[in-house]
Amino acid sequence: MAEKIQFTRNYSDLSTDKGYQFEFYCDRCGTGFRTRFKASVLGAVSTALDTVGGILGGIFGRAADVGEKARSVAWEKAHDEAFVEAMEELRPDFVQCPRCSSWVCRKSCWNQKKGLCKECAPDLGVEMAAAQASRTVEEVWAHSKVAEEDREMLQEKSWREGVRATCPKCEAPLSGKVKFCPECGARIQEKAHCTQCGAALDPKAKFCPECGASRKT
Ligand SMILES: [Zn+2]
Ligand SMILES: [Zn+2]
Ligand SMILES: [Zn+2]
Ligand SMILES: [Zn+2]
């Protein structure tokens, strides 16, 4: 049965009494792909029989043995089926190379363009792509550096020009200490501060929102 189906050279049988699981390894890189654990119904039945046998002692002791034997045959059968299922489950992750007939993982050992495994058709583009990738990273770094310098310059600029950088009405940029907006003529109010605690005050506020001091204009 197992001979009929061709698949990876190496695999691990992780099956236990409780269920079936297999791990297949890529013929080229050896990466393991594990199947879902398939619980064995038979194993559970056997455990139940064992428990009954344990409680009732010698009387039903033989029942457990029978269960054990029946399971062994049935287990083997289910195990074979599970093995075939496991191969079917993992087959999409593997490709068989038509040249060397190795089963390799699709993820890292298959040259899609050439239709051969990377052992037979080494991916020469990989080196170039890697070089390109690292250059891209450097470029990104350079860009972020420039951006940072820009940010610092902008910060310093806005700091020099003070908080009132734009007209509160039309948002036109204001330079220096102007009393009226050069664009819309709106009166630019000096930012008020509480004389008691120094907190910023709304121009219309009569009392400081921080300390409650009456505002003196
Ligand atoms: Zn591989
Ligand atoms: Zn090959
Ligand atoms: Zn304005
Ligand atoms: Zn205050």
12 CA distance to ligand 1 middle (Å): 16
- Return the number of other C-beta atoms located less than 10 Å from residue 47's C-beta: 16
For 127-153, how does the pLDDT look when each residue is reduced to its tens digit (9 = 90+)? 566 666 666 666 666 666 666 666 666
Q: How far is the CA of 164 from the centre of ligand 3 (A)?
A: 12
Measured distance CA(202)–CA(199) in Å, rounded? 10
Q: What residues are paired with 33 via a beta bridge?
A: 24
Q: Determine the distance separating the centroid of ligand 3 and the alpha carbon of 194, expressed in angstroms.
A: 26
Give residue 21's Cα distance to chain centre: 26
- Ligand 1: centre distance to CA 35 (Å): 16
Stretch 50-77: mean pLDDT = 58
Number of Cβ atoms within 10 Å of the Cβ of 203: 12
Residue 73, both tokens = 């045959």
Tell me, in angstroms, the distance from the centre of ligand 1 to residue 55's CA.
51
CA of 217 to the centre of ligand 3 (A): 24
User: Can you tell me the ipTM of this complex?
Assistant: 0.47
At 60, the amino acid letter reads F
Give residue 208 CA to ligand 4 midpoint distance, Å.
5
With 80 as the cut, is the pLDDT of residue 108 above it? yes
What was the pLDDT predicted at 154?
Answer: 58
**Residue 168 confidence (pLDDT):** 79
Looking at residue 111, its pLDDT comes to: 92
Which ligand places an atom closest to the C-alpha of 193?
Answer: 4
| pLDDT of 196 above 80 | yes
pLDDT at res. 217: 53
Reference 27, options 5, 8, 11, 12; nearest CA is: 8
Candidate ranges 71-80, 81-90, 161-170; pick with highest mean pLDDT: 81-90
Q: Which of 112-116, 143-147, 202-206 has the highest mean pLDDT?
A: 112-116
CB contact set of 178 (below 8 Å; sequence gap of 6+): 188
Expressed in angstroms and rounded, the spacing between residue 96 Cα and the centre of ligand 1 is 11
CA–CA separation, 130 and 136 (whole Å): 10
pLDDT of residue 45: 55
For the CA of 166, the nearest ligand:
3
- The residue that leads in pLDDT, 125 or 122, is 122
Q: Ligand 1 centroid to 9 CA: how many Å?
A: 12
Of residues 76 and 204, more confidently modeled: 76
